[in-house]
Copies of this chain bind each other. A is one copy, B any other.
Amino acid sequence: MDGIAPARRIIDQAAQRAATVNEQTGQAPCLATVLVGEDPASVTYVRMKRARCEKAGIRSRHVALPATTGTAELVDTISALSHDPEVHGILLQHPVGPHIDERAAFEAIAPEKDVDGVTTRSFAAMSFGLNGFASCTPGGIVRLLEHYDVDLAGKHAAVVGRSAILGKPLGMLLLARNATVTYCHSHTIDLPSITRDADIVVAAVGRPRFLLGDHIKPGAVVIDAGYNPGNIGDVDFESASRRAGLITPVPGGVGPMTIATLLAQTVDAAAQQLGCTPDESFPHFRSN
């Protein structure tokens, strides 16, 4: 399941929509990126996201804070962006460091600017099918499954990993699409017996080559949401690809869809905030 081509299509649509927003309002959509400290991987991610924005006609405003920044200061910075009418989306690059209350920082993002889908309001929106933005990786995975016409209704999906921005929201999005969803994690006893029952397996644990071919039912759909150092996924592609019906590569699978979702949601947020004419052909992410 190549993610590059469908991601490109979404980004093209986002770029078109961004141009329309600019024409209608004289303002380009603007994503604020907030980075605390100088973790090299985070610096790279943010730089890459900003470059993709620029190519799609989305402005970005970068806020670089020193590693010593405290929770209160970070919350103030994000709140100011939430109130700034020139900013339409806010991305706080995580992790933010153990001395910061990440949840407090996330919650300072206004729901209508939460294009990365990290607030509790966005999580509830995904869970209850309300208006709101998806967490980008789960949203990208669901778009990818739709692109490959993977029918979710009634299918058994095993989500391995339960983080607040990946496993948990993804399970809720799959559940909203009528999959039977099992959340597995580090305490799960006999993980293979569960994943081998599943029609769809999503690996989202952050451990390189954690999921093996032996974990997978022949013909199952395997989504690798892992991204470990050295471009290594959470799935052992070699053994898993011999069993899976469909499988995402790393890189080039989930990753591009994550970024495409971020861009599409930023443009969507700008269009909404600036009161643009609705565009039904634009691929809004619908939580429900």
Residues of A within 8 A of B (CB): 103, 120-121, 123-125, 127-128, 130, 153-156, 162, 164, 168, 171-172, 175, 178-185, 187-189, 194, 197
Contacts and interface: CB of A to CB of B under 8 A. Distances in A.
A151 B219 CA distance: 35
B183 A181 contact: yes
A211 to B, nearest CB: 16
B183 A188 contact: no
A156 B188 CA distance: 8
B185 A178 contact: yes
B183 A127 contact: no
Contacts of A124: 120-121, 123-124
Could you say which of A120, A156, A194 has the most chain B C-beta atoms within 10 Å of its C-beta?
A120
B130 A125 contact: no
Given A103-B128, A120-B125, A180 B180 contact: no
A130 B154 contact: no
A127 B164 CA distance: 8
Contacts of A155: 189
A130 B103 contact: yes
Given A153-B187, A154-B188, 15 more contacts: A103-B128, A123-B124, A123-B127, A128-B168, A154-B187, A156-B189, A175-B183, A178-B185, A178-B187, A179-B187, A180-B185, A180-B189, A181-B183, A182-B183, A197-B197
Contact of A180 (B153, B172, B182): B182
10 contacts: A120-B130, A123-B124, A124-B124, A127-B164, A175-B185, A180-B182, A180-B183, A180-B188, A180-B194, A181-B183
Nearest to A179: B187
Contacts of A127: 123, 127, 164, 168
A172 B189 CA distance: 18
Contacts of A184: 180
Contacts of A153: 187
A179 B183 CA distance: 9
Contacts of A162: 175
A187 B177 CA distance: 10
